[in-house]
Amino acid sequence: MSVVSEAEPIDPGHEHAGHHHGLDKGALGFLDAIVMAVAGSAPAYSIAATTALLVGTVGLAGPAALLWCGIPMFGIALAYHQLNKMGASAGAAYAWVGRVLHPYLGWLTGWCLVVSALIFMVAGSFPAGQVTLSLFSASAASQAGWVALVGSVWFLVMAYFVARGVRITANAQWIMSSIEILLLVIFVVLGFIHAGSHSHVSFSLSWLGFSHFSGFTGSGASFVAGALIAAFYYWGWDVSSNLGEETEDSEKNSGAGGLIGVGICFVLFELFTVVINMDIPAKTINNSGNVLQNLGYVVGGGLGGKLMIIAVALSTIATLETTLIQVTRSLWSMAREKTLPAKFGELHPEWRTPAFATAVVALISLALFVVSSFANSVDSVLTNAINAIGLQIAIYYSLAGLAAVVAFRKVAFKSLSNLVLMFLFPLLGGIFMLFVFVESLTSGSLNGADIGIGMGAILIGIIPLGYYAMKGSPYLREKPTLGNVPPAEEFVGAERIA
């Protein structure tokens, strides 16, 4: 299949491809794509919700885990940047992997995103309720009923914004993410200043190396266990690609927005992990439900703690919104390809959003959230969710990276920059994510619940995949292209990154 133009999305045969019946084309710009990517990775939420798990797994090697996972993640972001040039698609990697490698692998890619997003609704709604309540009452923040109620309210509010339109959603993200990033920058600076005279542990370059890992596999502080958690930190930036059909000059802006978003989050994650190592004892981190709140108190007293709670609350609410956008666009794309029920492919006539898909995802997510609120330990629910999501995103990121390598392998050897940015980095990212997935399953670093949730949700997808394959979905019958890209003179390649 040849590469299609912007006016002809990569998803063929879609009856709603016209401007007046499709998504809100051109509603977002380049800066919007960056903001959505940053909000998708949710730096404050990721640091607050995941640092205790990361430190408990790898100790002082947290910065190393984020560094050595961040480099391959940049390769995956480069892969998305290149794949966007094949034509914008709300399905993003679902569409590209299916066209380049195999439609069944493309469907697996889309399904992994869908189930990881549904699981995340639980992992995100708990903190949304907890941090909001903690602004007013510490005792209420520890009560499952109140947490479930407030988390559900926030979730429904975000679902309403998502249903109302992408421009309204982006405006909300600008407000929430701007305040969040401003607070994070202020407090990471204060954290370094505090560490200059009151550090718990002095900074060491060894935190960025491999000396604090017990090995690459096995139990304890293994590199793979840390990398799987680190992947969860970064996950979500690719929402900018799922919004490609609603972004101006999407072949350039969607992928570039994701790249810049990964870069911004990489810097914040590294700086905060180093500061937290220096300013907060490991025992305190492991017993903390919100490590950023602790950091805020350490460097700014009671006001600092409250401001960090606000940053985490905004980040959590923002990432719930971007995750909803990402999963509903994926469902919409899969439905128009006739690999999911056609109802998911319907758009609201006025808002031009997948309102039905949004409603269904909201109801399922709320049901999962309420059921999970009765678990004996919220911390165990979050740990299981983070590790399960790590497995799922390792699959679909690895497939996207390898798809880019296959799709552009001929163009990649036209110049040194193409070779590095279009072949080597995406290949590194794809192989690394595949390695993390396989080793996580075989090394014993995950428990049965982590694997059961992560892989069980994926295996459920065999049912709809088999059903739509038997129904003769055109997408599932299409032969893979294995890289039928335009000639080099028609394809600028890596130079378009600038």
Q: Give bridge partners of residue 442 from the DSSP assignment.
A: none
- In sequence order, what are the residues at sequence separation of 6 or more whose Cβ sits closer than 8 angstroms to the Cβ of residue 406? 100, 101, 482, 483
Tell me what pLDDT residue 214 has: 67
From CA 402, how far away is CA 400, in angstroms rounded? Answer: 6
What sections of 373-415 are H helices per DSSP? 378-407, 409-412
Could you tell me the two tokens for 87?
């034509």
Is residue 327 within 8 Å of 335, Cβ to Cβ?
no
Burial group, residue 29, by CB count within 10 angstroms (0-12, 13-18, 19+):
middle
Q: How many residues does the chain have?
A: 498
Is residue 165 within 8 Å of 173, Cβ to Cβ?
no
* More reliable by pLDDT, 4 or 162: 162
- Structure confidence by residue, pLDDT tens digits, 454-495: 999 999 999 999 999 999 999 999 888 776 554 433 333 333
Q: CB 138: neighbour CB atoms within 10 A?
A: 9
Question: Is a pLDDT exceeding 90 seen at residue 433?
Answer: yes
Question: Is a pLDDT exceeding 50 seen at residue 5?
Answer: no
From CA 187, how far away is CA 190, in angstroms rounded? Answer: 5
Short-list 302, 340, 298, CA closest to 106: 340
Q: What percent of the chain has pLDDT over 90?
A: 68
Question: What domains lie within the chain, and their CATH numbers?
Answer: 30-497 (1.20.1740.10)
Short-list 381, 386, 353, 27, CA closest to 159: 353
What average pLDDT does this structure show over 5-15? 38
- Structure confidence by residue, pLDDT tens digits, 17-55: 333 468 999 999 999 999 999 999 999 999 998 998 999
- Structure confidence by residue, pLDDT tens digits, 282-317: 888 877 778 999 999 999 999 999 999 999 999 999
3-state helix, strand, coil in the chain (%, to 5): 75, 0, 25
Q: What is the pTM of this model?
A: 0.90
